[in-house]
Amino acid sequence: MRKPIIAGNWKMNKTAKEAVAFAEAVKNKIPSNDKVDSVIGSPALFLQGLTEAAKGTELQISAQNCYFENAGAFTGENSPEAIADLGVDYVIIGHSERRQYFHETDEDINKKAKAIIDNGMTPIVCCGETLEQREGGETEEWISGQISAALKGLTAEQVANLVLAYEPIWAIGTGKSSSAEIANETCGVVRQTVAKDFGQETADKVRIQYGGSVKPENIKEYMAEENIDGALVGGASLQPDSFLALLEAVK
Ligand X SMILES: O=C[C@H](O)COP(=O)(O)O
Tell me the residue number closest to ligand X, measured at CB: 234
- Strands 59-63 and 90-93 turn out to be parallel
Q: Which is nearer to ligand X, 27 or 95 (CB)?
A: 95
Which amino acids are annotated as binding site, given as ranges? 9-11, 173, 213, 234-235
Which residues in this chain contact ligand X in the complex, by CB under 6 A? Answer: 9, 95, 167, 172-173, 211-214, 232-236
Half-sphere exposure of 107 (CA within 13 A, CB side): 1
In whole angstroms, the minimum distance from the beta carbon of 81 to ligand X comes to 24
Bridge partners (DSSP) of residue 216 are: none
In whole angstroms, the minimum distance from the beta carbon of 1 to ligand X comes to 25
Q: Which is nearer to ligand X, 202 or 237 (CB)?
A: 237
In whole angstroms, the minimum distance from the beta carbon of 202 to ligand X comes to 24
Which amino acids are annotated as binding site for substrate, given as ranges? 9-11, 173, 213, 234-235
DSSP the chain: -PPPEEEEE--S---HHHHHHHHHHHGGGPPPTTT-EEEEEE-GGGHHHHHHHHTTSSEEEEES---SSSSSS-TT---HHHHHHTT--EEEE--HHHHHHH---HHHHHHHHHHHHHTT-EEEEEE---HHHHHTT-HHHHHHHHHHHHHTT--HHHHHHSEEEE--GGGSSSS-PPPHHHHHHHHHHHHHHHHHHH-HHHHHHSEEEEESS--TTTHHHHHTSTT--EEEESGGGSSHHHHHHHHHHH-
CA distance 242 to 161: 28
The residues carrying an active-site annotation are 95, 167
In whole angstroms, the minimum distance from the beta carbon of 111 to ligand X comes to 21
Q: Which is nearer to ligand X, 36 or 219 (CB)?
A: 219
Q: Which is nearer to ligand X, 9 or 202 (CB)?
A: 9
CA nearest to 96, candidates 130, 59, 139, 124: 130
Q: Which is nearer to ligand X, 202 or 235 (CB)?
A: 235
CA distance 29 to 181: 31
In whole angstroms, the minimum distance from the beta carbon of 72 to ligand X comes to 29
